[in-house]
Amino acid sequence: MAKYKIVIFDLDGVIFSKPWSSNVEEVAVSSWDVLFKELGMYDLHEKLKRMFIEKRFKSYLDWTEAACCLLKANGLDKKTFEEIIKRRPFITGAKETLKILNQNEIITGIVSGSFEELALRVKKEIGMDYILAHCRLKFNEKTGLLEDWKLFGTDWKDKAKFVKYMADLYKTNLAQCAYIGDDVNDIPVFKKVGLPIAFNAHKKKVKEAAKIVIKKKDLREILPYLGLK
């Protein structure tokens, strides 16, 4: 029998393979990095990242607002964006793990600083009860070019607020929630839930903040800790 009623996941590095590792403590590597790299604009992304680390942006939202402006100015189109999202590889065991959770009627969720399109891919291909992703891009119906975007708070304390929202929505408590994350912005959530799992995490402070640390890059490794096989 499952020990937890709600299981919530980060996206990049947990459900999808992390593009590469980074020793930069302040920020996580994500699909934002992949997008800018594949567009040949990674130097611009790194410039914005340095500005954020140096606190030249007021918030994470200001950083990603600037990133979206750059994507629009450089002519990002819907087809290119969707192809990059479709190429993001699931981590080993992701599909099997989510299938088992769904079969056991465990409520599942995603909260991520990544793109909504990536989270929707999980919901469509595997199944997911609730998603909240940081960036929703809007493309012009005629030209296909990026024209607007909507940004949601999903970083640091925002992630913890989302998990509390999920617990309240499904009339349970945080002690009956598990959270699987891999980077520094998952630490505030780790402090709130009954079962914080650091999965595929490389930074010491992330592993120290979790109750369970899973080194093997196979998401099925979380199942025994949830009371499942």
Confidence of residue 54 (pLDDT cuts 50, 70, 90): very high
In the sheet that holds 212-214, the strands lie side by side as: 146-151, 130-139, 107-115, 6-9, 177-181, 195-199, 212-214
Taking alpha carbons only, the member of 163, 166, 215, 222 closest to residue 190 is 163
pLDDT digit string, tens, across residues 99-127:
999 999 999 999 999 999 999 999 999 99
- What CATH number has the domain spanning 6-17+90-226? 3.40.50.1000
Confidence of residue 27 (pLDDT cuts 50, 70, 90): confident
Whole-prediction pTM: 0.95
Q: What is the pLDDT of residue 29?
A: 87
Mean of per-residue pLDDT scores for the chain:
95
Q: State how far the Cα of 145 lies from the Cα of 132, in Å rounded to an integer.
A: 24
**Which sign does the torsion angle of CA 60, 110, 162, 78 carry?**
positive
